[in-house]
Structure 1
Amino acid sequence: MLKRLPHESSSDKIYQLRGALMMVAVPLVLVTIVLYVLPSISSNESIEDYTLTHRKISPDNRASSSYAVVFDAGSSGSRVHVFHFDRNLNLVHIGKDLELFVQIKPGLSAYAQNPQQAAESLITLLDKAESVVPLEFRPKTPVRVGATAGLRALEGDASDRILEAVRELLKQRSTLKSGPNAVTVLDGTQEGAFQWVTINYLLGNLGKDYSKTIGVVDLGGGSVQMAYAISEADSAKAPKVPGGEDPYVKEMFLRGRKYYLYVHSYLHYGLLAARAEILKVSDDSGNSCVLAGFDGYYNYGGKSFNSSSSPSGSRLNECKTMALKALKVNESKCTHMKCTFGGIWNGGGGDGQKNLFVASFFFDRAAEAGFADPNLPIVKVRPVDFEVAAKRACQTKLEEAKSAYQRVEEGNLPYLCMDLVYQYTLLVAGFGLDPRQQITLVKKVQYRDALVEAAWPLGSAIEAVSSS
């Protein structure tokens, strides 16, 4: 016979129910305690950023820091930047500075006929860069060589041969980590985007709303870039570009926030390249942008251009007309809502462009012309200041300029009127700025207790370290 189970009492049922409730409640309580004890994650911080920032790492763990070496092979010279990061991608001191920065002249494009000599010109920079990277870090330290507009402007296979010679130099002479794409010609979109990342990183803007970021105009030797963050709605209105060209908008995810970055690079419109374009306007006759008393030639991109002053010397208004022709401001049709110059969409403007930092040759010429203190990292000016300085320079003869503008290198003196007129024209007629709008000339940016060069290589280094 089967044995009958005794009848369960009410107390037995209550006991069993209490046990089941405890099995569910204990894990819930533990989860609640963990969530309460952990600091909250801010709305601007992604889960990945939170775990990277808050996990506990032993201070003795050497892998918690990293280095990056970036060569900026520009048209006017070559520069090397060495950066040291902690595991949170904050910059760490190298000696008393937050980067090693060394530069030489001329740039790689000056060796168009001799690729081997071009590569060898980087040896002193490479040796100095490696000297500050600890021996055990070198095999895992990414090295990048980013050639910019100077090499882009070379004809034929000259650029490719120079890049191959540089790759061979790194392979034979360096122990740094050199990947298959370590030596490249940066396209203008990359250069502009890296510059925007660099300055906003140093200012602590990454992770904030796009309206809190700053826009950047970077005037190099061979090209000029404009980059600024726009709204998602404006990015959806971006015109389509012909096949093979860089799109107007680059999407970037930085510090837990997605940015729509308007960026465009204008090849042949950097300061040194623009000189050639302005000299072309006058053909072989005298040029009203060249200081009186100069008669010679201007060499750029492997070509030589007749460069002589007009009989009446340099004149502001005539030079403006030539600069406008070089920019093709009134010649190209705008098929979009609003354009800069050459029929290029301007990005729509907006909050991301209101606070504008202008870099590189803008700062250099302003300092040399005397309306910006060269000892300051940033200077507030207006586009009209370039016009005022240009008026004075254009009235100066070459011999007088040698004493009046002692900061200007001898080779640049004949073109001081031209450079300043072009910079004013580029900002106002080209990019559509109000002549009296305040802009910020930037050479370096204060980051913690040090000044850091406001150049695109830091943005490249951040990407290199993040992906290595």
Structure 2
Amino acid sequence: MSAQREMKEKNPWPTPVTVIIIVIGVIAIVALVTVAVFQNKPVHQKYKYGIVLDAGSSHTALYIYEWPAEKDNNTGRVEQKHSCKVKGKGISSYASEPWKAGESLKACMSEAETNVPKERYRETPLYLGATAGMRLLNIENSSASDKVFDAVERALEKSPFSFQGARILSGQEEGAFGWVTVNYLDNRLKQGLLTTGALDLGGASTQISFISDNFDGSESPINSVNFRLYGNDYNLYTHSFLCYGKDQVLKMALAHQTQSGTTTVLDPCFHPGYNETKDYSALYDSPCVSARKPQGAPSKFEHTGRGNFQECQKVIRSLFNFTSCKYSRCSFNGVFQPDLQGPFGAFSAYFFVMNFLNLTDTSIPLEAVKAKLSQYCATSWDELKKKHPDVSDKYLAEYCFSGTYILTLLTEGYNFTAGRYSDVKFIKKIKGSDAGWTLGYMLNLTNMIPAEAPDSPPLPYAGYVSLVTVMTLLIVFLFLLVSLGALWPRCSKQTQIV
């Protein structure tokens, strides 16, 4: 007897071959994702280091920088690891005892050895850059300047680091490298963003550097510096005013008030009740004022404060020449300056003075800032000393003058008027690194900023892993479909004879 039966077969359990293919597919997925993740996972980072000594007019500071060793000429970010302020005055103050300039650096160099791994000593570059204090000493006594540098170089050559030499930076270099530092730390160079101007104030000079759309360098080539950084071209305006740092300009202000050889100076820039006996020889010991020393002046004079902000501004204005200008526009002393543009970062003495005076908030109207400073200058000397017992008399006495000078320099010298004063931000650090010229100087000497934009992966890390995972799953899924079609019986009708 024969019978016919229709049977629709359901998919059977996977055969051993199918199981093997599935297992292999799963293993492939896991392996591919694991490789992708671990391949792109940051490894234990090794670092390289650089050391820069900033030999300023009033003091010397040491800065240690570090960056990823694998990326030093590409995308690695340089960051400040450590800083050390050298005890004592700037190296230019050791002109009569040059050997002390080298000795003064020992303590900070010892700190550098502690903060840099020993295995990196020999490959760590060490630089010393001297600024306006040594520029003035070189003008006044080049032989003494050479002896100071000899002493400094002998001391640094004994260090375990790769000493690359000591030299005097020009004012233009100081301004330009400060601008590079500010914009590098704020990541404005690589992104090609609107740049930030740089305002630097030291003891012996002050610098202004910024990009302006109406400045191509043709009107005043001496103030022009061209950079090509990360594929972007920059035509930078920069100028350094020697003798207009806060210490030297104070000497000029006192020289202006002692031109008659007086024995008493009633100084509106010092507090009421302040009184000190000072030497004429110490006042006129700088090239910034030496030519102005009055004939037949007495050996000493009484320096007495009377604390008047408005009168102090008049004294400071007398140190600027606003009438002589052969260009389309000038800042002061006949120096060309294009129209101000963009935000500005004011650092070094700008920050320290205004921070002490609690005047770093530039959102406060300019007239309110002047009113607060006027009130501060009118404070009696005795009251001020009681309020700040931990501040030395020398520095405490000068804050009224320095604050008034900063306001006058910014608003009348550089033309940050009431409407533009808020464009200035008083800064000390940017993302943990000190604002100043030292980082820009090291970046330049070590070629850490490429002229062209560095290559970068087309996808970010997370996107890359996600894409690899999705593509892997898709490939395996298609592969399984093909395999199932070939190995698993299709649903069909079969006739069986019994």
When normalised by structure 2's length, the TM-score is 0.71
Residue in 1 that maps onto 2:495: none
Bigger mean CA deviation after superposition, 451-460 or 386-395:
386-395
The superposition leaves residues 259-311 of structure 1 with CA deviations (integer Å, 9 ceiling, x where unpaired) of 1111100000011111101111101441322323222337579559967445x
Q: Which residue of 2 aligns with 1:365?
A: 353
The size of the alignment, in residue pairs, is 382
Q: Which amino acid aligns with 1:106?
A: K
> Does structure 1 residue 390 correspond to structure 2 residue 390?
no
In the superposition, relative to structure 1, how do residues 159 and 137 fare at CA in structure 2: closer, same or farther (>3 Å)?
A: same
Q: CA deviation at 1:119?
A: 1.2
User: In 2, Cα distance between the equivalents of 1:300 and 1:84?
Assistant: 42
Task: Output one character per residue of 1:371-409: Cα deviation in whole Å (capped at 9) or x when no partner.
Answer: 348xxxxx7566556523431232122222212445743
State the alpha-carbon separation in 2 of the partners of residues 382 and 266 from structure 1: 27
- Misfit runs of 4+, over 3 Å: 55-62, 88-93, 207-210, 298-310, 379-386, 404-409
* Cα displacement (A) at 1:425: 0.8
Higher relative contact order (CA 8 A, sep 6+): 2
Matches within 5 A, 1:74-223: 74-86=56-68, 87=71, 88=74, 90-91=76-77, 98-104=80-86, 105-154=88-137, 155-157=140-142, 158-171=144-157, 173-179=158-164, 182-209=165-192, 212-223=194-205
In structure 2, the partner of 1:66 is 48
1:235–1:297: structure 2 CA closer, same or farther, 3 Å change rule? farther
CA contact (8 A) 1:73 1:107 kept: yes
Partner of 1:297: 278
Distance 1:381 1:143, change over 3 A: farther
Q: Answer yes or no: is 1:270 the counterpart of 2:245.
A: yes
Matched-pair contact (CA < 8 Å) for 2:217–2:224 = no
User: Per the alignment, do residues 91 and 170 of structure 1 end up closer, same or farther by CA in structure 2, a change over 3 Å counting?
Assistant: same
Determine whether 1:440 maps to 2:425.
yes
Distance in structure 2 (CA, Å) of the matches to 1:126 and 1:209: 37
Shift of the 217–386 alpha-carbon distance from structure 1 to 2, 3 Å rule, reads farther
Q: Percent identity?
A: 27
Q: Which has the larger radius of gyration?
A: 2
**Residues in 1 aligned to 2:171 and 2:179: alpha-carbon distance in whole angstroms:** 12
The CA RMSD over aligned residues, in Å, is 2.8
Q: Partners in 2 of 1:127 and 1:224 — Cα distance?
A: 31
Are residue 464 (structure 1) and residue 452 (structure 2) matched?
A: no
Q: Check whether the contact 1:238–1:249 (CA below 8 A) recurs between aligned residues.
A: no
Q: Distance in 1 between matches of 2:307 and 2:199?
A: 27
133 and 385 in structure 1: CA distance in 2 versus 1, 3 angstrom threshold: farther
> AA paired with 1:268?
C
In the alignment, structure 1 residue 327 sits paired with structure 2 residue 320: yes
SS of residue paired to 2:407: helix
Amino acid at match of 1:175: P
CA distance in 1, matches of 2:224, 2:149: 28
Give me the whole-angstrom Cα distance separating, in 2, the residues matched to 1:341 and 1:75.
Answer: 23
Q: CA deviation at 1:253?
A: 1.2
Instruction: Decide whether the 8 Å contact of 2:251 with 2:284 is kept in 1.
Output: no
Q: Secondary structure at the match of 2:318?
A: helix
Corresponding position of 2:383: 400
d(CA) in 1 for partners of 2:430, 2:223: 27
- Give the Cα–Cα distance (whole angstroms) in 1 for the partners of residues 322 and 386 of structure 2: 35
- Give the match for residue 11 of structure 1: none
Q: Which residue of 1 aligns with 2:330?
A: 339
Which residue matches 1:452?
A: 433
Q: Deviations over 1:128-172 (max 9, x none)?
A: 11222222222221111111111212221222211111111112x
Cα deviation for residue 255 of structure 1 reads 1.3
1:342-379 C-alpha deviation (Å, 9 max, x unpaired): 10001x125xx321111111111112113348xxxxx7
Gaps of 5+ in 1: 1-54, 241-246, 374-378
Q: What per-residue deviation string (whole Å, max 9, x for no partner) do you get for residues 1-24 of structure 1?
A: xxxxxxxxxxxxxxxxxxxxxxxx
Aligned partners of 1:364, 1:320: CA distance in 2, in Å?
Answer: 20
CA distance in 2, matches of 1:321, 1:197: 35
Question: C-alpha separation between the residues in 1 aligned to 2:412 and 2:237?
Answer: 19
How far is the alpha carbon of 1:454 from its aligned partner?
A: 1.2
